[in-house]
Copies of this chain bind each other. A is one copy, B any other.
């Protein structure tokens, strides 16, 4: 396949794009799951598909969000024609407000539901973006790119794939996609449309890799309905269903089950309430008359007459469900015989949190139904079997797997080859790798720098790798701060050193010996005539660090402060 195995893609900057060529660079989303953002360039003009966020891992403590790295386009903001959003998930729209800060007038193309979710997000950022509503079947010329939109199904309504027709060739970007052949809303992935496009000729297919390792086909969303129905039918107490706040069809099936079994429903969690209100307004969610009820009222209903639909399915510690599991929820306290359904995936990395919530609920007496013991979740991403259908419909000349970690990308590439795409036309790239489509052949020509851009609280980018590495050290071992005031002419300590350790030991006497050590070291530096505060600080750091390593075999951060007085 078309990549170097030691470090994929060359390290050098790409050569200028040949005239008539099309360039593709992902600034996020390849080699990772999240912060999807792909930049297309033709004739000096840029088009961006998706602009999402990535959620941090344990090695990125304190970080709220991770953005795509905009550096590669920062000098070319005026060349950008538009952003196209494939659907409304956070990993596809979450970074739009940060891009709009730099180009507030940038038009944003998307389907009705996608734009409604984006608008809600932009309101929180006090932005009023320029929105262009599009729908499947439509064509829109945007600069040199002629866009065509295709219906696709996924775990959120109103998702689109987008084709870009340019003089350099036709690109199809699937976005997140699956091929549910019995979708709840009857809106099929437009495989017929993809086939027509394939007849015309697709030069490059950018295709969702998330489930490429999973054999077979995703069970239809519809099949979850009877399972939910069974659960609700047999519970003699309260039912609490947790799922993603954007999964309108999942919520629809829960509402339908509640309705059939005479339970009224309350939404729990701010994003659930907000998104379902939007979905209902747009006609994407059908709420039977009188079914919905306020949480405050719901908690007073008989236990057999109520069902809660809650956020918190990923074990988020501040979510309603986590509070219930800890017995700390203000309104809902779990009792023996209550049933909690996690109608959701278990996103890798969240296992400890989710199992913690399950154990907490079980400990309080609840029965917990989850994808491990019942069919209450199906994925939103095409499995290998479905990807084969896509390859065979589109018949692309070149393929570039997107949306996935390396294991997913490689599995997807292997599927492409099995359907007959030439190995040398399958491009395994990652974030920053530059792919040029020239004369019908896609190849890697260089690499632009793409790093992690962290959002922590209100500011973007001031928390970087050095701050994170300090946090990891502090988180592992705490710190020991030693403050001494020295006479600036003689270098003599004018008072006893002040010590404070945090995150080092619970034992108040742990550092008793350090004072003596520091005093001895200060006598030494004074005797040697050292008056430079930096030199004195280094000496103190060294002597304390060595003592702690030998005595405790630990590595706290040693923070000496020497004040000249």
Contact = CB atoms under 8 A, between A and B. Distances in A.
B553 A336 contact: no
Contacts of A551: 458
Given A335-B5, A407-B362, A474-B474, A457 B553 contact: yes
Interface stretch (A15-23, A258-266, A305-313, A557-565): A557-565
Contacts of A355: 348, 405, 407
A552 B467 CA distance: 15
Given A456-B554, A495-B565, A561-B481, A503 B471 contact: yes
Contact of A481 (B62, B458, B559): B559
A62 B506 contact: no
A498 B563 contact: yes
Contacts of A559: 481, 500, 502
Interface stretch (A38-46, A365-373, A390-398): A365-373
A430 B363 CA distance: 10
A327 B6 contact: yes
B462 A471 contact: no
A116 interface: no
Contacts of A565: 485, 494-495, 565
A478 B474 contact: yes
A420 interface: no
Interface residues of A, number: 77
A362 B494 CA distance: 60
A363 to B, nearest CB: 4
Nearest to A548: B457
Nearest to A457: B553
A336 B5 contact: yes
Contacts of A227: none
Contacts of A504: 467
Interface in A449-499: 456-459, 462-468, 470-479, 481, 483, 485, 494-495, 498
Contacts of A351: 348-349, 351
Contacts of A465: 506
A500 B345 CA distance: 43
A230 interface: no
A333 to B, nearest CB: 9
Nearest to A510: B462
A510 B459 CA distance: 11
A8 B359 CA distance: 13
Contacts of A335: 5
A6 to B, nearest CB: 7
A535 interface: no
A410 interface: yes
Contacts of A481: 481, 559, 561
A554 B405 contact: no
A258 to B, nearest CB: 25
Contacts of A483: 483, 561, 563
B477 A475 contact: no
A294 interface: no
A406 interface: yes
Contact of A358 (B407, B472, B506, B557): B407
A514 to B, nearest CB: 15
A62 B505 contact: no
Interface in A411-457: 430, 456-457
Contacts of A79: none
A462 B505 contact: yes
A563 B61 contact: no
A510 B542 CA distance: 28
B506 A467 contact: yes
Given A5-B365, A462-B507, 8 more contacts: A6-B365, A62-B476, A467-B503, A474-B478, A474-B502, A481-B559, A485-B563, A494-B565
7 contacts: A5-B364, A61-B475, A62-B475, A462-B505, A467-B503, A470-B502, A495-B565
